[in-house]
Every structure is written in structure tokens, then in C-alpha cells.
Amino acid sequence: MLEAFVVATILCGFFGILFKKNLLMKIFSMDIMSTGVIAYYVFVASRGGFVSPIVDANGAEKVAYADPVPQAVILTAIVIGFSIQALMLVGVMKLSRDNPTLEITEIEKNNTP
Amino acid sequence: MNTLTIAWMALPFFAGFTIFILPQLDRYLVSFTAVASAVFAVKVFLMDSPLALQLLDSAGVTLLIDQLSGYFILTNALVTAAVILYCLQTGKSSFFYAQMIILHGSLNAAFICTDFMSLYVALEVSGIGASLLVSYPRTDRSIWVALRYLFVSNIAMLFYLVGAVLVYKAHHSFSFEGLRGAPPEALALIFMALLTKAGIFVSGLWLPLTHSESETPVSALLSGIVVKAGAFPLVRCALIVEEVSPIVQLFGVGTAILGVSYGFFEKDTKRLLAFSTVSQLGWIISAPAVAGFYALTHGLVKSSLFLIAGNLPSRDFNTLQTKPMNTALWIPLVVASLSISGFPLLAGFEAKMLTLKDLLSWQSIPMNLAAVGTVICFSKLMFLPHGNAQPKQLPHLGFWLAIGLLLGGLIFANAVHYELYTVANILKSIGIVAVGAVIYLAGIQRWVFNLPRMFEEFEQLTGVMTLVAVLLFWLAWSWR
């Protein structure tokens, strides 16, 4: 059930990229898609009945802990996704001077030979 | 060797960030890094056995360095060095050099890693670096082209992440071997992303605009090496997991034909070269076992062709027909075109023969046709008029040094597979070149119509991605 919601978020984002006409909206849709992907990693790592993989001061106790790897690697993806987003928004800012409506068809028409 | 590998991998990033602090060192640092990569590549060739590294523990980064990575690293080093030589007199800022060397480092990382997460990071860094280089002139058009590139590659990489976590779910590891027992949707998503990133088949139609609208040195870098960062993992996966090899080879044949068919109709030199890159990437992945050598020859030849094309009096073939170019430019142009067509005495011949020998039986007819198609496309360049009619200023010294390095590399690389110089092979390759040239002179020369550019629009590109993913899913489903 939860997985279905996560996949639905990814698809919502992707359809936004496909169907929105405004470049800014497309970038926001991409962010939604990446939120979905991140949630999917968290979903894969999470399992009922397990504890967080944190060792307390008394030393390691043999307990079943949740898999930390997907969450650890997705941190990298979050940082990369956010920096790409920032870079793209700067590009959009520059483009918006000459294309104030930011409609993708207009930008494409003006900028392809 | 372990410490050396890690030091070599970190060097470009260290150099890149040092340039931001000490901009006056830019040229020295980037040249040093490119030379260091070339030396490392030679060291890789001298190794007796492949080197496999596992950093940290089972969940850590895995690296594999063998002959295949050696070829890609050498290509990276030579292309970067040539572009540095070319840029020395063009007054590029330190920012340009810093981005270029960070891009170089991320590509190096992509050529040695064997797990999906490290590959993801390497590919994303290369995407950011490449798009910053494309947008360097900061005109509206260059910003749009860079933004479009970043957008397409980032959407592809988001799908890739989903594929990677599916592999992890099946095996609790991100390594390439995990593809074996992974569900078909994992393979579909990961391969779709890599095909898009590498500019292969219909999902790669972002490539012609990006590569043709960039500045000359950036185009050389993009076509010479950056797209190979996407093709390399495909080759590596095909070698590690043999079951997926037919899928990769199928896409190789498809894109080899697609690229040249678009190339027939091109009226613009840089777009012709970009479509030829699409087609040549198909050659690289159509025979994974010998992909390294082909990638080396293609990297050398394509970056030299882009550097030459950037110095021609015009980009338009019709204008070039009426306005002869300088003979001094025409000679390297013909040498490079002959190499990519597979003419003997140049390394392109060995690469082509090696690939043709290593094909599956059903591949050989379409690939031979693609070879003739390549000759037809490059006849457009070879048969351009030349002369010294108008004394035009020749390009600067850096250009000649870069071309010398690249074409010299092509001649030296001949020594690698000299055993391929048999009478049958030589006759075959001359035959292919002759047939291609005759077809060009007989018909293609006079074609005037243009293909629509509809499929290169941004929205078509994203839509086509889903279609390729569906196709891959079906292939993975039926061939597992």
C-alpha cells in the first residue's frame, strides 16, 4: 500500500514533467519525482519490528536493526538532486529575462537554430 | 597500486578545487592532472592481472581496473590534454579549467567503479560539469542547451536510482553482478538511464543539439569522452552479466544504423559529427569484449574532427562547397575521416576490423551496412573543395598541437593489433570505403531534403524515455 503511494508520487512527478508547459513547473515536478525516489529508498530500508542502527554507550547489543545502507546512500542523492535543482533554477532565472512567460515551446523556438 | 589508484582518483578533484583558490595555477594543474591520468593508464596496461578494490566493507565502494578501463582512461587523458592544448591561447577563465578537470575526474571514477551507487555519483557529477561547460559563454542559447541537457540527464538518473534500489532489494548489494537475479524492471530502468546518458538509440536524440551548439573545445570533450561514461557501464554490465549482453548488442546495432541514417540528411558539419557520435557509440557497445580499443580510436578521431570543424570557414555544407577551405586544414580532416571510415594505416581500421570480427552472426550484415553508411557520411567532409584561393588566417599553434596529439595517437595505436593487417581485411576495408564513396558521389551528394527535428524537442525526449524503458522491460522479460 505504502509502496503504491510512493510509486504514485514518482509517476505524478514524471507526468508533471511531461504535461506542464511552464519550465519552472517542470522543474518543480522533477523535485516531486525525486522526493518520490527518496521515499522509495526509505521504504525499501524500513521494516516493522526493527530498531534504529544506533549503538549506545554500553556497547553493542545484539539486536535486529533496520538496514542503514539505502538511507545512507540516498543522502548523497538528496544532496546531488538539490544542487542540480539550484543550478537549474539559476539557468531559468537567466532565461526568464528574455522569455518572461517561461513557456517551453517559446524558449525552444527562440533558442534552436 | 591501491594507494596510487586512490591518489590518482582524488587528484583531479583536488586540482579542481585548488584552482578556485589559486586561479593563477590553472593551466599547470590541469596539464599535470591530464599527464598523470595518461601515466596511470599506461601503468594499467602494464599490470599482469586486473585490480579489484573494495573500499570499506561489504556495503562500500567497489572498483575494478583492467584493460577495458585502461583504454577509457587513456582516451580521457588524451582528449582532455588535447582540449587543454587547444584552449591555452583562447583566453578561457580559470573557472573553465576547473570545471574541465572536475569533469575529467568524474569520468575517471565512472570508468573504474563496479557498483551502481558510485556510478550514480560519477555520472551526476559529470552531468553537472558538462552542463556548466556548455553554458560557459552564458548566451541564452547556451544556457538553454545546458539546462536541457541537465534536465534530460537528471530525469534519466532518477529512474536509474529506482532501478538501483530494486537491485539492492534483491541482493543487498549495489554491485553490477546484482543485475543477474534482479527483476526485469530494475534492468529496464537502469539501462534506459544509461542509454539516455550515453546518447544511444532514440533516447539519445538530445545529443545532436547539445554537441553541435556547444563551443568547439567543449564539443570535442563531450563527443570524445563524456558520452562514453554512459556507454562504459553498459559494456561492463554486458561483460559481467552475460545474459544482458544480447540486449546491449541489439541497441548497438540499432543506434549504429540510426546515427548514420540521420547523418545522410545533415547539412551542417557539427550536426553531422554529432550524429556520427550516436552511430559510433553503437559500434562501441555492439561488441563489448573489444569496446575499449574502439572507444580510444573514436575518442581521438571525434575530438580532432570537432576541433577542425570549429575552425572551418562555415558550418553549412552549401557554403563550404562554394568557399574552399585551406588545404592545411583539409589534410587533417581527411586523415581523421579516413580513420573513422576504417581505412588501413590508421587505428580506426583495426578498431573496425576487431569489432566486425567479434560480432554475433546476426549483427554482421547491419554493421557492415553501418560501416558503409559511415563512409557515405564522411565523404561529405572528404570531398569538400580545398585550396589556397583566399589567404585566410590559419588557426593558432595550440590547435596544431592538439591535432598532432590526437592524430599521432591514431597512428601509434596501430601498433596494438598489428596482426589484423591481413590481405583479406585490408581489401575488405578498402572495399567498404570505395563503395561508400561511390554511393556518395552517385546519389547522396545531391540530396536536398532535411529531416524534421521534431524528435529533438524536449517533450519528445522525455516521452521517448518511457518508450525505451517499456521496450527494455519487454526485452528483459522475454530474454531472462
B348 contacts B341 by C-beta, under 8 angstroms: yes
Instruction: State the burial class of residue A1 (Cβ atoms within 10 Å of its Cβ: 0-12, 13-18, 19+).
Output: exposed
CB spacing of B458 vs A104 below 8 angstroms: yes
Residue of B nearest to A6 (CA): B162
Chain B CB contacts of A41 below 8 Å: 161, 165
What is the rounded distance in angstroms from the CA atom of residue B328 to the CA atom of residue B147?
Answer: 37
Residue of A nearest to B271 (CA): A113
* pTM to 2 decimal places: 0.95
| Residue position matching grid coordinates 588501413 | B344
State the smallest CA–CA distance between residue B444 and chain A in angstroms.
24
More confident site: A72 or B143 = B143
What is the rounded distance in angstroms from the CA atom of residue B127 to the CA atom of residue B162?
Answer: 19
Phi, psi dihedral angles at A54 (to 5 degrees): -120, 130
Cell numbers linked to A112? 534552436
Alpha carbon distance, N-terminus to C-terminus of chain B: 38
User: How much is the average pLDDT of A9-31?
Assistant: 95
Chain A CB contacts of B128 below 8 Å: 83-84, 87
B204 contacts B280 by C-beta, under 8 angstroms: no
Long-range contacts formed by A104-112: CB under 8 A, 24+ apart:
A104/A21, A104/A22, A104/A23, A104/A26, A104/B458, A104/B459, A105/A21, A107/A23, A107/B144, A108/B144, A108/B457, A108/B458, A110/B140, A111/B140, A111/B141, A111/B144, A111/B145, A112/B209, A112/B453, A112/B456
Q: What pLDDT shows up at residue B256? A: 95
ipTM: 0.93
Residue of A nearest to B158 (CA): A34
Closest among B143, B116, B120, B195 to B464, alpha carbons compared: B195
Which segments of chain B have a pLDDT < 70? 58, 389-392, 480
| Residue position matching grid coordinates 568557399 | B323
Q: What pLDDT shows up at residue A25? A: 95
Cell numbers linked to B18? 585548488
Check residue B72 and give left, alpha or beta (phi > 0: left; psi -120 to 50: alpha). Answer: alpha
Chain A CB contacts of B141 below 8 Å: 111
Task: Report in angstroms the alpha-carbon separations of B353 from B258, B342, B350, B357, B393.
Answer: 21, 8, 5, 6, 39
Chain A CB contacts of B147 below 8 Å: 88, 91-92, 95
DSSP string, B167-191: HHHHHS--BGGGGTTS-HHHHHHHH
Longest dimension (CA), chain A: 68
Q: What pLDDT shows up at residue B416? A: 87
CB spacing of B161 vs A104 below 8 angstroms: no
Q: What pLDDT shows up at residue A60? A: 60
Say how many C-beta atoms besides its own lie within 10 A of residue A54's C-beta.
Answer: 7
B245 contacts B288 by C-beta, under 8 angstroms: yes
Q: Which amino acid belongs to residue B2?
A: N
DSSP H or E segment with residue B303: helix B291-309
What is the rounded distance in angstroms from the CA atom of residue B279 to the CA atom of residue B99?
Answer: 28
CB spacing of B147 vs A80 below 8 angstroms: no
What is the rounded distance in angstroms from the CA atom of residue A48 to the CA atom of residue A50?
Answer: 6
Instruction: State the burial class of residue B100 (Cβ atoms within 10 Å of its Cβ: 0-12, 13-18, 19+).
Output: buried
DSSP string, A54-89: ---TT------B---HHHHHHHHHHHHHHHHHHHHH
**Per-residue model confidence as pLDDT tens digits over B201-237:** 999 899 999 999 999 999 999 999 999 999 999 999 9
CB spacing of B209 vs A112 below 8 angstroms: yes
User: How much is the average pLDDT of A87-92?
Assistant: 95
User: How much is the average pLDDT of A78-95?
Assistant: 94
Q: What pLDDT shows up at residue B54? A: 87
Cell numbers linked to B102? 572536475
Q: What pLDDT shows up at residue B57? A: 72
* Angle ∠(B220,B223,B228) on CA atoms, nearest 5: 135
- pLDDT bin (cut points 50, 70, 90) of residue A57 is low
